[in-house]
Structure 1
């Protein structure tokens, strides 16, 4: 007999600093999936869940979700995604690349010496034509939230990049 779908309806408040994280289910989501708060998903161990969350901003890795009774806890984790790693010979080259990608509303994860974006052959060609070094990698994608933070809604990905 199949297990019932778990309906996740709210976020739990963050635990106090130093508190142990409860063990439970993990829900791997791509950057884009973390912006969609409704719909069917699957946990790391294969359990089906149904997101029915209030529309109050994108999910972040580490967010904890629960069912109506609070008996089930599910932790959001950033799923591994195919990315492009962009590197230049100067900070100005990366700044110019970020400008051109931002002009195209491309979600970017910004770092001091590299930019990360979802794998896209057209963007890869554009970046390489500008003399940038572009390589492929697979890792969790944590794009910058943008000028409007997580509460602004477009069809763009919004979340926070690591410091």
Structure 2
């Protein structure tokens, strides 16, 4: 199973539509996971034209998105437990990565996916894959925009970032 992972689209402030690079990369995926800060349901509609979409809400999302997706969830995909959280709450004084980990401290997961920082991250901690795709259209201090691909196979999980230079 190949999953497109996206976060922090901040549309329409950051862009009016999904970047063409995202449309190209997600064109053949089985599922798309959005990790919050969609800002409008229009982002959902654009992604749903490419593949089935699931996700969670972030700190910039309105009630409509919060009600539909919630702030935290665990999905079982291809026998892997995948945690989704934006990473903005509830642990004051912690980094986004630490907040994401603490959000699932009592859960047995294979992967934790999170956003919020707009900073791409890929690493293993205590046997759990931590993955932040970065931001698809609001790179802030990063050199490039980014999304992720997560491949779930019988023999393991592979994650990688896809970097691109234009949000057009």
TM-score, L = length of structure 1: 0.23
Structure ID, larger Rg: 1
TM-score, L = length of structure 2: 0.22
